Structure 1
Amino acid sequence: MPKYVMWGSYCEDVLEKRAPYREAHLEGLAKQKESGVLITIGPTKDITKVFGIYEAEDEATVRQLVEADPYWQNRIWTEYTVKEWIQAL
């Protein structure tokens, strides 16, 4: 199954703004991880970018997951890109 890399950006004052949505966000990610579609995801140390790796049927599936996330719906993530990734090793 293809793998995809997602890169995105966080809003300003992310630590304060994400608080109301954090629990639902983490619960959703845990379900994705359990199902096998999400391999890993997390912020950069400076909390300006988010990086994730997905294993999915197609790019549209990854985009649906990202856009259903509370962080996207509430503008905690402000933009993102998805690229198919070829794992060399």
Structure 2
Amino acid sequence: MHHVLFYDYVDDILERRGPYREAHLAHAETACEAGTLRFLGALGDPVSGALGVFRAGVEEIEGFVADDPYVKAGLVTAHRIEPWTVAVGE
């Protein structure tokens, strides 16, 4: 089962993310290496949020969110997790 994580960011995310970006990306890389996170990236132009695709359960994703440096720094204003049924592809 796949799940999709949606983040909503503060309006000035690009100006405020600097001190937390390296730790945020390292956190995501750790989840990728563990095989739970498949993709994560920014949404919009200008950036307004992010989307992550997980091969994990909701509890594990909620743990990822709770430990994310962007969340801890208040850069994420809301998040939601939705189940995703893959119809085509791996």
Same fold by TM-score, threshold 0.5 exceeded? yes
Q: Read off the aligned partner of 2:11 and give its amino acid letter.
A: E
1:76, distance to aligned residue in structure 2 (A) = 1.1
RMSD over aligned Cα atoms: 0.9
Within 5 A, what are the aligned runs for 1:29-44?
A: 29-44=28-43
Runs ≥4 in structure 1, deviation > 4 angstroms?
A: none
User: Are 2:6 and 1:7 aligned?
Assistant: yes
Aligned length: 87
User: Are 2:85 and 1:83 aligned?
Assistant: no
Rounded to whole Å, the distance in 2 between the matches of 1:48 and 1:3 is 23
1:45, distance to aligned residue in structure 2 (A) = 3.5
User: Are 2:66 and 1:48 aligned?
Assistant: no
Map of 2:73 onto structure 1:
74
Length-normalised TM-score, structure 1: 0.92
Q: Percent identity?
A: 31
User: Could you list the runs of 5+ residues in structure 1 that have no partner in the other structure?
Assistant: none
User: Could you list the runs of 5+ residues in structure 2 that have no partner in the other structure?
Assistant: none
Cα deviations across residues 14-52 of structure 1 (Å, max 9, x unaligned)? 111111101100111111111110000101142102111
Length-normalised TM-score, structure 2: 0.91
Rounded to whole Å, the distance in 1 between the matches of 2:49 and 2:14 is 13
